[in-house]
């Protein structure tokens, strides 16, 4: 089964090459956020020209790209310009309209493709696909029910008491804890659905979680797959706060199952590009065998940013290789790492006054790697950058990470 593309082989787009018309090898990205910015840096380091389509004149990726097409994501003229400039196109976030990717794919290779991005945009479709490949992946999703109509609400209230307590999640546009409401009773479920405007939702059973993890997979046009070891993640208020990336961050058998499941999901989708699959780790002895698939992101992921500093090939390097049909090197992690997410809250003191973080103290710590995303205005909850700590061993990395988190007053310090 291949939802992503009918292409099984593609001529490589070599960096620095020039075609018969004098066109430099150029890779395009839909979206100008920090993921696009890091993709652009990776592509340029290899020698590619880059083009970004994003409506924001100050988009982080647009500011560093060779070309910035400042239009909406469905503007025909902008899409035509992007297709003219580029030999292949990717996306840096899943909410680019899937029809836009279909339009681009008529003339250019697009990775990942519209079908897969469309699935990731809709939790109902996403969970259906996880269920469809459960036999192949060996991992199921949490028990859930679809809620799109008042009749379905009444049916769930009457017949699916097993899903309560649960989490009601909007089918579309929910991320970083947005569009989610915890409910304990049938009455709370009805009230929460009304609060969400009667939007299409899934009600997902709350499970006894012990941890969360994610796996990054890169798959080429020819089906070649490489992956990173699973990383263990800590979220605060639905937003990633800390990523633990080192040997022993989770039991070996569980890590192997997560990696195998992510690869199986990528194959099942016929995926091309970098895919992040997120999992819940549940209490031992449960019917789910300790692991439940939560969701996927058809792009590089916040939890994989440590790969920039701790691995010999980053998730963005693999994104470039996959879309350009270059060989996919199996990445090697050379240092244990902990990544700390830097939200806009870091730029405000206890009284709510704007201030510059104490970078002098933070960067004096050994093994610290600061990445700021070029966003002009700090706001609470806004992803402004990340700090990765690497070192010779896990103990020293944890020690420095705790000190850095304390200096920056970051959440999740007790989980480092």
Confirm if 275 and 217 have CB atoms less than 8 A apart. Answer: yes
- DSSP-based three-state secondary structure for 163: helix
Q: Kindly give, in sequence order, each residue whose CB lies less than 8 Å from that of residue 269, ignoring residues fewer than 6 positions away.
A: 1, 2, 3, 4, 116, 119, 129, 275
- 369 labeled part of a ligand binding site: no
For residues 165 and 351, what is the distance between their CA atoms, to the nearest angstrom? 37
Does 204 appear as a known binding residue? yes
205 is in an annotated binding site: yes
Q: Are 314 and 308 in contact (CB under 8 A)?
A: yes
| Strand ranges, E, within 144-224 | 144-147, 166-170, 180-183, 201-205, 209-219
Residue 188 labeled ligand binder: no
Annotation-wise, does 179 bind a ligand?
Answer: yes
C-alpha 337/C-alpha 359 separation (Å) is: 19
> Is-contact 27 40, C-beta < 8 A?
no
Nearest of 367, 245, 260 to residue 311 by alpha carbon: 245
- 212 marked as part of a ligand binding site: yes
Q: Is 175 annotated as a binding residue?
A: yes
* Residue 127 in marked binding region: no
For residue 174, say whether it is annotated as part of any ligand binding site. yes
User: Tokens in use for 54?
Assistant: 């994003």
- The reply to whether 178 sits in an annotated binding site is yes
Annotated ligand binding at 207? The verdict is yes
Tell me if 6 is assigned to a ligand binding site.
no
Is 294 annotated in a binding site? The answer is yes
**Is 233 annotated as a binding-site member?**
no
Quick check: bond before 112 cis, omega within 30? yes
Tokens 């969701």 correspond to 295
Known binding residue 177? Answer is yes
Long-range contacts of 325-332 (CB under 8 A, 24+ apart): 325/10, 325/11, 325/12, 325/13, 325/109, 325/220, 325/221, 325/222, 326/12, 326/13, 326/14, 327/224, 328/218, 328/219, 328/220, 328/224, 328/225, 328/226, 329/226, 330/226, 331/226, 331/228, 331/307
- Give the H/E segment covering residue 140: none
State whether residue 105 is helix, strand or coil.
Answer: helix
Residue (of 143, 141, 376, 382) closest to 277 by Cα position: 141
Binding site membership: which residues? Answer: 123, 169, 174-180, 204-207, 212, 235, 294-295
Binding site membership for ATP: which residues? Answer: 123, 169, 174-180, 204-207, 212, 235, 294-295
């Amino acid at each position: 089964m291949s939802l992503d593309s009918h292409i099984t082989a593609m001529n490589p787009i070599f960096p620095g090459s020039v075609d018969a018309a004098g066109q430099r090898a150029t890779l395009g990205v839909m979206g100008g956020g920090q993921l696009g910015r890091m993709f652009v840096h990776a592509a340029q380091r290899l020698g590619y020209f880059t083009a970004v389509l994003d409506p924001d004149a100050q988009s982080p990726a647009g500011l560093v790209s060779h070309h910035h097409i400042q239009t909406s994501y469905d503007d025909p003229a902008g899409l035509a310009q992007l297709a003219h400039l580029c030999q292949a196109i990717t996306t840096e976030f899943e909410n680019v309209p899937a029809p836009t990717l279909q339009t681009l794919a008529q003339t250019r290779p697009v990775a990942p493709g519209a079908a897969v991005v469309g699935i990731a945009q809709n939790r109902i479709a996403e969970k259906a696909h996880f269920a469809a490949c459960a036999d192949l992946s060996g991992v199921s999703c949490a028990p859930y029910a679809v809620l799109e109509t008042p009749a379905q609400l009444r049916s769930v209230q009457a017949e699916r008491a097993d899903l309560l307590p649960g989490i009601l999640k909007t089918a579309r546009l929910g991320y970083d804890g947005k569009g989610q409401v915890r409910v304990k009773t049938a009455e709370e479920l009805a009230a929460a659905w009304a609060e969400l405007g009667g939007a299409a939702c899934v009600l997902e059973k709350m499970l006894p979680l012990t941890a969360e993890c994610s796996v990054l997979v890169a798959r080429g046009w020819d089906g070649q797959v490489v992956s990173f070891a699973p990383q263990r993640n800590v979220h605060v208020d639905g937003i990633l706060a800390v990523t633990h990336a080192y040997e022993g961050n989770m039991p070996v058998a569980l890590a192997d199952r997560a990696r195998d499941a992510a690869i199986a999901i990528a194959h099942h989708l016929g995926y091309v590009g970098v895919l992040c699959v997120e999992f819940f780790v549940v209490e031992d002895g449960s019917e789910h065998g300790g692991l439940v698939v939560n969701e996927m992101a058809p792009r590089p992921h916040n939890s994989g940013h440590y790969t920039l500093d701790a691995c010999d090939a980053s998730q963005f390097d693999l994104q470039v290789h996959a879309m350009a049909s270059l060989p996919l090197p199996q990445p090697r992690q050379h240092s244990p790492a902990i990544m700390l997410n830097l939200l806009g809250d870091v730029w405000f003191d206890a009284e709510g006054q704007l201030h510059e973080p104490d970078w002098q103290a933070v960067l004096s710590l050994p093994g610290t790697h600061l990445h700021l995303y070029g966003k002009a205005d700090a706001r609470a909850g806004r992803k402004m950058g990340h700090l990765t700590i690497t070192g010779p061993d896990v103990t020293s990395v944890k020690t420095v990470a705790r000190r850095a988190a304390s200096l920056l007053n970051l959440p999740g310090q007790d989980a480092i």
